[in-house]
Each structure stands twice: as C-alpha cells, then as structure tokens.
Amino acid sequence: MKHPIPNQTNSWKNLNIHFKEIHNLHLFDLFKNDNNRFKNFSFNFKNKLLVDISKNRITNTTIKILLNLAKEMNLSQAIESMFCGEKINLTEQRPVLHTALRNFSNNPIFFNESDIMLEINKVLNKMKYFSEKIINGTWKGYSGKSIQNVVNIGIGGSDLGPKMVTEALRFYKNHLNIFFISNIDGTEIFNILKLIDFETTIFLISSKTFTTQETIVNFKTIKDIFFKKVNNKNILDKHFFAITVNENEAMRYGITKENIFKLWDWVGGRYSLWSAMGLSIILSLGFDNFIQLLSGAYDMDIHFRTTSFEKNIPVLLGLIGIWYNNFFNSETEAILPYDQYLYNFPMYIQQSNMESNGKNIDKNGNKVSWQTGPIIWGTVGTNGQHSFYQLIHQGTKLIPCDFIASIFSHNPINDHHVILLSNFFAQTHALAFGQNFYKNNNLKKNTLHDEYVEKFKFFEGNRPSNSFLFQKMDPYSLGVLISLYEHKIFTQGVIFNIFSFDQWGVELGKNISNNIFKNLVNKKKEFNYDSSTEGLINFYNNIKK
Ligand code: F6P
C-alpha cells in the first residue's frame, strides 16, 4: 500500500501559499480584529482542563487547511487502526495498544484471536494484591521486616514514565520511599545504597526486553552486593521482582515466576507506564490513584477517538505543531509547567516525542523531504524565566511554547501560588503581544541615550503559545495530560507519514558500545574505528594501564 506523501498533498501546497500570506500577521491584530478569538480557540475538557490555543499565529483558514491535511493523510483511519489493534508498528510487525491498558469500557480487544482485556485485568489484579501487601506491611523481607523502600531499576520508558508520575503525584504518596536507578554510571547505585538498607528494600527490575545493558548490569551489581552482605536463601524471592515481556530471561537471572509482572510486545516502551511498568507508581500512590490516572487517560482516548477534528484537542495541537515545524521552520518546542511537581514532565515528553517522531524514512521506505519531529525541551516556570526565556522573547528563533498550570495548589503557602499563576498568565501575554499592547504607554525618552537603549528593550511579541490550565494536578488530570500529548505525537507521526512506534536509531550505538567495551576490558591494541575514536580509546588505555 502506498502511503500519501505530506508535501505532495494539495493541503500542503495550500499551506505554503497561506503561510506567505499570513506569516507577518501579528497576534495583536488577530485579537484586535476578533472579539471572540478566545472563545473560538479554547476548549473546556470536562471542567477539569482549559486548553487555550488562541495565542497561536493561526486564523480560521489556517485551521481549515490543516484539517484538510489531516484528511488527506487519512488521520481518522489511522486513529481507528491504532485503537482496533491493527499492526501499525509495521517494521516490528506489532499493534500499538497502550490504549487497551486503560480501556475502562472493558469491551473486548482482540489480538491473535484472543481478548487481551482478560490478560490485562489479570496483571492489574496481581499488581493490586501485591502492592497492598507491600504497602500494608504484610510482605516481609528476608529478615522478617516490612518493606520501606522500593528501587526501580530500568531506563528510557522503563524509568522516565514511572519517575515522572510518582514525582508529579508526590502529594498523594504513602510512606514508602521510591528510588530510581537508570544510568549505567555507578554514581546512581552508590548514592542510593547510602539511603537504603537491604532488609527493608525491594527491587523492581523493569525492562520490557530484559536485555538492556544498563538495567541488567545495574541489577547484577545490586544482586551481587546484596548476596555479599547477606547470606540468606530467600533474597531473590523476597526482594527481587521483574517487569518484562521476556519471562524466560528474567527467570534465567533467578527471579521466580510469581515475582514476574507481565507486559506485552504491543506496549511500546515509552508508552508503558500504564502497564505493569507502573508498578512503582501503584506502590507509591496506591492502586486507587493508579486507576484514577488510567481513567483520565481513558477519557482523553475517548475524546481523541470520537470528537470531530475541529474540536479535537490532541489533533488541533498536533496540527498547529506541524504549522510551526514545517512552515515557520521552528526547530524546537518548549514545555513549561508552572508546577514544581511536573519537574520531570518536559524530560518525559522529550523521550515520547523524540524517540517516536525522530525518523527520516517515510512509510513508503523513502527518505523524507520534509521536517519530522521537533526538539523538545523545557523546565518548570518560574526557573526558566530566569534562564532561557530571554531567547524566547527576544532571540531570532521562533519557539512555540506549552504553558501548563493548575488553579489550585496542593501546598498553598501565603500568596505563592497566585504569584506563580501571575507569572504564567504574564508570560503568555508578553510573548504574544510584546510592547504592541502598551504602545501608547511608552515612557518618555529624555536623552539620546534613552532613545538608543529603548531599541534594546523593545519586545516585538508575536511568539506563540498554548496554555493548559487544570483545576488541580490530581491523578485523573495527569492521566488526561499524558494521554493528550501521546495523541498529539501520534497525530504528527501520521502527518509526517513515518513509523512512530519503533526506534532503530538507538540500536547502532548500543552495538558499537558493546564492542568497545570488549576493547577496553581486554586492553586490545588493534581495532578498526575512525582515527578520532581510536585516539580517544588509546589515550584512555595508556592512562589506565
Ligand atoms: O532507548 C531505547 C529503548 O528501547 C526505549 O525505547 C526503551 O524504553 C528503553 O530502551 C528500555 O528498554 P527495556 O524496557 O527493554 O529495558
């Protein structure tokens, strides 16, 4: 089947023409000429979330042509194919069914002729009962003590999602201490070992494949240290658990079958926090909060699947992202949560977006001649304001921004939250309108120097942003937020005509690193790399000898 090529569609051509017509239009004028702009370009999601896209450099015509593009790229069919479990991850011959993990309708979803909801619910139940035993203290360690610490050992999607969610919902946390080890850098193990004692700690070895170098090496190191310190035959049964597709490999490392929590090939690593990969989330927040998280994601799934595209939040956000990425040639998107709890959110979306849409071969197997996924970065406001916002306001690059905040704080202290929100509102306003808004209020210029300095102080504005205003960042709302971004990324992948659910690019580096490891350990003198890499290895080997 030949897939449509985005830059050969009529809509793409129309967008190029439209871009020439409106790229100089200022947001100031767009608002001045339309009193209903906010009303028309904002969406209330179940009174929990308001999404405002009005501060974007778009008109009704822009949206109309973008929606035509979605049509020409068969977005509706693509959405249905994903939800129905077709093998849309063609290069790996797999369906993409993370949405089944939060399918609260419980309607059957078939894969290989069996209803996967049965298995999903079975694992969910296993997680429920296991987590209850750990939380209420009835599960004992080898010495008879209850568990106080949980260490998740995993990397990429087996780390970033659970880490982001447990941090984002820290307010709902129970007494257990949750730690994450991901990096192969021994510093992580070293630091965490100072904070835990083995008697009261369980380790979750989280690896979909159970072959990822970092995770397996970190696991083996911890296991060795544990066994050296404690001579007890129950260590593995009481303290080590695996979350994986590859049960045989986990058992080969000594993990008992009952201690394995299963996931499936059809869950992408970076979309896996909804599966058993979320065990650390359940242990940290309790099962009911996890269900709330899933139900928020489910409600956004329903919205994405059933709402017409003119009102479909992830679809519109995805299309507007394309407008900047492919027509304004914006290279990056900033994610700016005005919520300390969402500190890890930009990093989490960085993986889901960049690993999904960082591709240059289209579905027809040809090199793309259009830009694909953007570079994702950001940090929490107001910290960002005092670091990189200067460039967003006055630099030469156009950086579309997502501002995220909640009306209610979990930790109201004095007027901190009102000040935080004032900054949230002020920044999107300043970025959009610059000084145009205050044209008549300019201070009087007294001297030539004043006049000169005034030029540097000038804010041109016209910098676009989306605003996401939640009522409160509770488990349900976080589920909504994550699912919204997942579907935005999906939408863009369909428009880019790329496969968003594989990640072949990370393989090459992994293989070379395995070979170099052997060179370093064996102090091999002869190898065949480029002169720079060989020079670096030789320098290392000479100093280390
Ligand atoms: O970075 C590549 C990757 O394959 C990610 O997609 C994945 O989340 C991560 O490695 C970890 O993989 P695993 O869960 O199999 O250890």
Q: What is the DSSP string of 286-302?
A: -HHHHHHHHHHHHHHHH
152, 153, 208: residue to mutate for ligand 1 pocket, most atoms within 8 A of CB:
208
Pocket test for ligand 1, best of 212, 246, 352 (most atoms within 8 A of CB): 212
The reported pTM is 0.97
Backbone angles phi, psi at 525, to 5 degrees: -85, -30
**Which residue positions in the chain have pLDDT lower than 70?**
439-445, 524-525
What pLDDT was estimated at residue 440?
58
- The closest residue, in CA terms, to atom 8 on ligand 1 is 157
Do 114-290 and 6-72+307-496 fall under one CATH topology? yes
Model ipTM value: 0.98
CATH topology of domain 114-290: Rossmann fold (3.40.50)
CA 480 / ligand 1 centre spacing (Å):
24
Q: Give CA angle at 543 (540, 545), nearest 5°.
A: 100
Domain ranges in the chain are 6-72+307-496, 114-290, 506-544
Superfamily of domain 6-72+307-496: Glucose-6-phosphate isomerase like protein; domain 1 (3.40.50.10490)
pLDDT in the model for residue 207: 98
Measure the CA–CA gap between 241 and 419, rounded to whole angstroms: 44
| CB neighbour list of residue 298: distance below 8 Å, 6 or more residues apart | 102, 103, 104, 479, 483
Which residue's CA is the nearest one to ligand 1's atom 10? 156
Q: Which amino acid does the sequence have at 67?
A: L
* DSSP β-bridge partners for residue 337: 404
Closest by alpha carbon to 524, among 500, 509, 540? 540
Q: Does any ligand 1 atom lie closer than 6 A to the CB of residue 212?
A: yes
3-state helix, strand, coil in the chain (%, to 5): 55, 10, 35
CA–CA dist 205, 151 (Å, integer)? 9
Tokens of 217: 């090496």
Q: Is the N-terminal amide bond of 447 cis, ω within 30° of 0?
A: no
Give the pLDDT of residue 258. 98
Tokens coding 514: 């395995």
Q: Ligand 1 within 6 A of 275 CB?
A: no
Catalytically annotated residue among 355, 417, 486, 488: 355
Which atom of ligand 1 lies nearest, measured to the CA of 212? 16
Whether residue 154 contacts residue 126, with contact meaning beta carbons closer than 8 Å, is answered with no
Atom of ligand 1 nearest to the CA of 155: 11
Asked if 162 contacts 290 with a C-beta cutoff of 8 angstroms, the reply is no
Angle at 80 between CA 78 and CA 83, to 5 degrees: 110
In this structure, what DSSP letter does residue 406 have? E
- Among residues 168, 159, 127, 125, the alpha carbon closest in space to that of 283 is found at 127
Pocket mutation for ligand 1, best pick of 209, 245, 500 (most atoms within 8 Å of C-beta)? 209
Report the pLDDT value the prediction gives residue 518, as an integer from 0 to 100: 87
Q: How far is the CA of 440 from the centre of ligand 1 (A)?
A: 55
CA distance 281 to 55: 35
pLDDT given for residue 435 in this prediction: 83
Q: Kindly give the distance from the C-alpha atom of residue 354 to the centroid of ligand 1, in angstroms, as a whole number.
A: 13
Question: Is 310 assigned a catalytic role?
Answer: no
Give the angle 491-496-499 at the CA atoms, nearest 5°: 80
User: 410 Cβ partners below 8 Å, 6+ apart?
Assistant: 171, 341, 472, 473
Which tens digit of pLDDT belongs to each residue from 442-463?
556 678 888 888 889 889 999 9
SS3 call for 313: helix
Residue 398: Cβ-neighbour burial (10 angstroms; 0-12, 13-18, 19+) = middle
Decide: 157 in ligand 1 pocket, CB within 6 A. yes
Is 32 a known active-site residue? no
For ligand 1, the distance from its centroid to the CA atom of residue 165, given in whole angstroms, is 18
Largest CA distance in the chain: 84
Based on the residue annotation, tell me whether 303 is a catalytic residue of this protein.
no
CA distance 314 to 491: 7
Ligand 1 atom, smallest distance to 160 CA? 8
Give the E-state strand segments of 300-393 in sequence order: 332-337, 375-377
Among candidates 199, 269, 210, which has minimal Cα distance to 241?
A: 210
Find the helix or strand (DSSP H, E) in which 135 lies: helix 116-135
Residue 31 Cα to ligand 1 midpoint, Å, equals 45
If we measure between CA atoms, which residue out of 19, 493, 67 comes closest to residue 311?
Answer: 67
pLDDT at residue 235 in the model? 97
